[in-house]
Structure 1
Amino acid sequence: MALDIFKMVDTRKGLFAIEKVSLIYNLLTSILILFLYQRMDHPLRMLGDRALIAAVTFLLMYLYRLAPCKFSAFVRVTIQMSLLSYWYPDTYEFNRLFLNLDHVFASAEQWLFGGQPAIWFAERLPYIWVSEPLNMGYFFYYPMMLVIVLWYFIRRFDLLEKVSFVIISSFFLYYFIYIFVPVAGPQFYFPAIGMENVLNGVFPSIGDYFNHNQELLPGPGYEHGFFYNLVEGSQQVGERPTAAFPSSHVGVSTILMIMAWRGSRWLFACLLPFYVLLCCATVYIQAHYLIDAIAGFITAFGLYVLTTWMFKRWFAQPMFR
Structure 2
Amino acid sequence: MQKLIFISGSLLLILLFLSLPCFVQAQGLSSGIYKFNNILDRLFDEMLPLCERLIGVGRAVGGLGALFYIGLRVWRHIARAEPVDFFPLLRPFALGMAIMLFPFVIKIMNGALKPIEEATRAMTGDALDAVWYNIDQQEQAIKQDAPPGTGPSAPDMGKYEQPDGSNEGIFSGLQNVFTWFNIKSFIKVFIMEIVQILYTAVGLCINTIRTFYLIILAILGPIVFALSIFDGFQNSLSSWFARYINVWMWLPVANIFGGITSKILANLMTMGPGFFGSAVYIIFMIISIVGYTTVPNVAGYIIQASGRDTLLHKINNMTRAGGKVAMAAIGKL
> TM bucket by the smaller chain?
under 0.3
Q: TM-score, normalised by structure 1?
A: 0.27
Larger radius of gyration: 2
Greater helix share, structure number: 2
